[in-house]
Amino acid sequence: MKIGIDVAQTAAERTGCAWYADALARALVNVARPEGHQFVLYHQFGDWINGEPGHGTYLTGQDVEMPLRLELPVPARARWREIEAGRAPLPGEPDVVVASSFHAPRVGQAKLLYVVHDMVFWTHPDFATDATRVVCQRELGQAIVRAAGFVFVSEATRADFEQFFPDWLKSSGRPHVIAGGASRWPTVAKVADRSETAPWLMVGSVEPRKNHKCALVAYENYHTRSNLRRPLVIVGGRGWHSEATHHHISELKSKGLPVKYEGYVDDRDLLGLYHNAFALLQPSWHEGFGLPVLEAFSQGLPAIGSNRGSLPEVLGGAGLTCPPDKPDAWTDAMLGLEQDDALRRRLVEAGLRRAADFSWTKTAKTVLELAKSVTLT
């Protein structure tokens, strides 16, 4: 079987969905290669056209093709118009294509597997830009028509899907699987003690859905009540409607609070931040999965997460949960974690066990079995 893999998102500044695409591609090749399967990576995919596709996922081997990795935007758009019109074959002519970028183009004779990362564009439309909402709604509609199977990254995301399309999965007969992510890094064998200056850490693009406002209000209250007054470090690219958050950060800094915005960081720097932090804060209004929780767990970092969306599912009882609209509850949880070392140690151990429940190998095997099933029909 020849497996096409959409890695278009990996050529841009990477967020959780792009890291999912990258890690899934690598794991699929590792899992499926011994069985003799071949692979085609698409760095330009449907309407997702990159200015610099060469920055995307790069894999080697005689069984790996990357026909669009160096194709510039203008010819890439023209090529995809021809593919979708049925006037040109999909490069590599795979048997199945895994689409991870929310796009569901026509892929010729190949069977399309569509990854649903979240349904925020319908469940929480205020947390998506107009452009994102239009694209995601259109592409999901196309996936419902075109896809031979679906991959949901969490039970919560599948439940959101079924809220808008009740009984469709059953009545349509389309197979689907739950295949979430995992930490990009191996679980640490030994957890180092955190110093009294180890910071609180928040990871995620600065945009309304991530709810930085709750974290900043909670942190200001924490700073007033704590004896240690740990810093707060925020990591993530500048998303849409981020101006108010950056203004809030500036206000806190002007009051002398140790809040630092790191912006977008690469893998190595992010791993260092996990290693040196005290705990992760994830107060999102909604997450389709919530990858930073597992990344934190794998590095021996306890986590406090929102009780909404998929986060309780991913936390699995191994972290603390708070309502995203109750900053005072977050302050109390932060102080409790800081003041109760036995609690912190229990959560560290629980987090390490929880991280071990997830692996990219397991995810890839699940997707591979789905690919095999749809190519037999």
Q: Which residues of 357-375 are buried (b: 16+ CB within 10 A; e: fewer)?
A: ebbbeebbbbbbebbbebb
Burial of 50 (0-12, 13-18, 19+ CB in 10 A): buried
Report if residue 190 sits inside a domain: no
Residues 236 and 291 in one domain: yes
What Rg do the C-alpha atoms of the chain give, in angstroms?
A: 21
Q: Is 95 left (phi over 0), alpha (psi -120 to 50) or beta?
A: alpha
**Which residue reads 């979240």 in tokens?**
118
In a domain, 152, yes or no: yes
Q: Are residues 87 and 145 in the same domain?
A: yes
Distance CA 141, CA 156 (A): 20
Q: Could you give the C-alpha distances from 177 to 114, 154, 180, 264, in angstroms and in order?
A: 11, 9, 10, 32
Task: Name the DSSP class of 186.
Answer: P
What is the b/e burial string over 229-251, where b = at least 16 CB atoms within 10 angstroms of the residue's CB? ebbbbbbbeebbebeebeebbee
Within-domain flag for 195: no
Indicate the average pLDDT of the chain.
Answer: 96
In this structure, the answer to whether residues 148 and 221 fall within a common structural domain is no
Run of H or E including 254: helix 243-254
How many structural domains compose the chain? 2
192 inside domain = no
Residue 236 lies in a domain: yes
Task: State pLDDT tens for residues 92-117.
Answer: 999 999 999 999 999 999 999 999 99
Same structural domain, 204 and 349: yes
Domain shared by 308 and 243, yes or no: yes
Reference 218, options 202, 239, 207, 197; nearest CA is: 202
81 and 115, same domain (yes or no):
yes
In whole angstroms, give the CA distance from residue 84 to residue 70. Answer: 20
> 82 and 9, same structural domain?
yes
Distances (CA, A) of 125 to 121, 129, 137, 208, 307: 5, 8, 11, 11, 19
266 and 349 part of one domain:
yes
Domain membership flag for residue 191: no
pLDDT of residue 13: 85
With a cut of 50, which residues of the chain have pLDDT below it? none
In a domain, 117, yes or no: yes
Domain that holds residue 45: 2-182+359-375
Domain identity same for 168 and 19: yes
Question: In this predicted structure, what is the pLDDT of residue 47?
Answer: 95
169 and 265 fall within a common domain: no
| Cα–Cα distances in angstroms (integers) from residue 313 to residues 100, 296, 328, in the given order | 21, 15, 23
pTM listed for this prediction: 0.95
Does residue 245 lie within any of the structural domains?
yes
Q: Are residues 367 and 352 in the same domain?
A: no
114 touches 145 (CB < 8 A): no
Is 315 in the same domain as 208?
A: yes
**Sign of the CA dihedral running 311, 313, 315, 321:** positive
CATH number at residue 204: 3.40.50.2000
* Inter-axis angle of helices 212-225 and 327-339, nearest 10: 50
Q: Which pLDDT belongs to residue 239?
A: 87
210 is written with which tokens? 């991530």
Q: Which residues neighbour 74 within 8 Å (Cβ) at sequence distance 6 or greater?
A: none
Residues 249, 94: Cα–Cα separation, whole Å: 48
3 state SS of 115: strand
